[in-house]
Amino acid sequence: MTFDTLAHALATGADATANRAFLATQHSADIAQFLNDHDAEIDWRVLDLLELSRQAEVLGYLDRAMQVELARSASRSRLAAVITAMDADDRADLFNALTEDEQEALLPALAQAEREDIRRLASYEEGTAGSIMTSDYAVLVPGLTAREALERLRLEAPDKETIYRAYVVDADRKLIGSVRLQDIILASPSTPVEKIMERNTRAVGVEEDQEDVAKKIARYDVVALPVVDADNRIVGIVTHDDALDVLTEEATEDFHKSGTVQGLAESVRQASIFVLYKARVAWLVLLVFGNIFSGAGIAYFEETISAHMALLFFLPLLIASGGNAGAQSGTLMVRAIATGDVRMTDWGRILGRETLVAGLLGLTMALAIYGIGLWRGGAEIALVVSIAMVIIVLAGSLIGMILPFILTRFGMDPATASGPLVTSIADVVGVLIYFSIARAVLF
């Protein structure tokens, strides 16, 4: 059996036993992918074949939009049961995606513990550590022996996201250390947890940016990081799989910004036409007005151009080269700043190297274009075009390199500075450089 034949079997109402046996061998993530591709009615028929805990797991892997669709098509008691069985962080996210009316309708159907947990997790601002953490973590007190700690973790394991690291807290729930499951197993049974725990446990604040948290998990190669409130009391943990999702999400956001697409949080495949339009229109219109300056630059040099129409042949090529060189250096800088490879204080050193690299690139490009200049317009035009090329590539590269630093300096996101924005600025500069040189040499 495959997922393709499952769809067929469900449609024809065939024997549920075979379907159930097939689903038992499949990973919840794969079942979720199948559900994402089908409608709510089919989806509920699949979920009916699974145990409640498995239903909750599959639901956790679904796209947010499909989760909401399923939540809306379920009875309140059924939804309450499956939501109760979900991981704490997944269910808080789903809860946040519902309308206020739907939230109000759902809450009374939940037990008090879940109700409070959801309310608390859902209250943290989008994009913070609090918004991605889970409350399913294991805590220990320092006085327990290794044997007692192991017994405790054994009992708690089924409800916890991870027991590979447990957090040690004092009587006020303040974080004082953490201990790895493997160290508990390795210790002799009577050793107190206090003796085997790591005291320098790194924690993150509940308001901390989710991207910084994810980067710390990547940096320290840990399975999870504890989240603490202002009083150093543990309130949750962020796990490695959530860190991975956050880093992918943030890379997508940077990628989109570099192409001047703004604020498209959801899937491209599922976004509505209006959402896609809205994500693109503002920058597109803004850049048109930026390009008016290039047009004005050309209009300013109308006489020069009328006298030497051959100059026009080289216009796209020269201004595009400045833009392309700028896009290259901008892309390099934006990504290097995002990954932490380059820091703000490095700009001086980078500037020197970029000048050298761009100079070499400009010379190469000038050589490439000199012959074409000779052929299309003679020696003078070839000279103008070659000189202009060196200066334009240099200028474009430096604009691309510096702009991300300037945006960062003023508290703006540098990611926008790698694509069309750099190209538009380089265009204006290119027009002015080209025709200024032309006028100086040819008249």
Which of 173/240 has CB closer to its own copies? 240
Which one, 69 or 346, has the nearer CB to its own copies?
Answer: 346
Residue 285 beta carbon to its own copies: minimum distance, rounded to whole angstroms: 5
Q: CB 154 → its own copies: shortest distance, Å?
A: 5
Least distance to its own copies from the beta carbon of 100, Å? 29
Phi and psi at residue 59, to the nearest 5°: -60, -40
| Closest approach of its own copies to the CB of residue 375, in Å | 11
Q: Which is nearer to its own copies, 92 or 110 (CB)?
A: 92
* Closer residue to its own copies (CB): 106 or 415: 415
Give the residue with the Cβ less far from its own copies, 53 or 267: 267
Pick the closer one to its own copies by CB: 50 or 336. Answer: 336
Rounded to the nearest whole angstrom, what is the least distance from the CB of residue 51 to its own copies in the complex?
A: 16
List the beta bridge partners of residue 274.
none
Q: Which residue, 79 or 377, has its beta carbon nearer to its own copies?
A: 377
Minimum distance of its own copies from residue 19's CB (angstroms): 16
Order of all β-strands in the sheet with 162-169: 137-140, 162-169, 175-180
Closer to its own copies by Cβ: residue 36 or 103: 36
Supply the angle between the helices 28-36 and 52-61 in degrees, to the nearest 10: 60
Q: In the complex, what is the shortest distance from the CB of residue 140 to its own copies, in angstroms, rounded to a whole number?
A: 15
Q: Which amino acid is at 211?
A: E
Smallest distance from its own copies to CB 187, Å? 10
